[in-house]
Amino acid sequence: MSDELNAVELATELTIAWLGNPNTRTTPDDVPAFLQAMHEAVSRLAAPAEPVAESSGQEHMPAVSARKSLASREFIISMIDGKPYKTLRRHLATHGLTPDEYRQRYGLRPDYPMVAPAYSESRSAMAKTIGLGRKSSRADEAGDE
């Protein structure tokens, strides 16, 4: 009974606040319907939540096939939303997934790429031009002694 009373009090206070807003344009006939809607909303929120099904048990339908997702050298098509990306890492992070979880969710091989081949090649070429991945010449001279 006290939970019901709290829901009624809270719904009443929300309705009073709504009516107290100077921008609210309403008629007296709208107030009971609004109060009832507030009471239903507060009661729903106060009710114990139903257990949520485990996400790993939920079947996810891919937006495209694995073959189609890798059809282009310029981009990889996401199986989540079917949009093209040069790299999937940031996209997966926005959906709360790691690359391994993504591969597992859609039944992909462990070596399924997360970066488009053309993008990977361009980044590799750029790294080589600025000298990344090479030992310095000073280290080479010290090793010869």
Question: pLDDT tens digit string along 58-113?
Answer: 678 888 998 999 999 999 999 999 999 999 999 999 999 999 999 999 999 999 99
Torsion of CA 106, 109, 115, 117, to 10 degrees: -130
Residue 119: pLDDT over 60? yes
Residue 115: pLDDT over 60? yes
Q: How confident is the model at residue 53, as a pLDDT? A: 44
What is the Cα 78 distance to its own chain's centre?
13
What are the domain boundaries of the chain?
A: 7-46, 66-130
Which tens digit of pLDDT belongs to each residue from 2-51? 555 688 888 888 888 888 888 878 888 888 888 888 888 888 877 776 55
Q: How confident is the model at residue 122, as a pLDDT? A: 95
Residue 52: pLDDT over 50? no
pTM of the entire structure? 0.52
pLDDT band, very low/low/confident/very high, at 54 (cuts 50, 70, 90): very low
More confident residue, 135 or 71: 71
Query: In angstroms, rounded to a whole number, what is the distance separating the alpha carbons of residues 92 and 100?
Result: 10
Give me the amino acid identity at 108: L
Token pair of 47 as six digits: 């009710």
User: CATH 1.10.10.1550: does it fit domain 66-130?
Assistant: yes
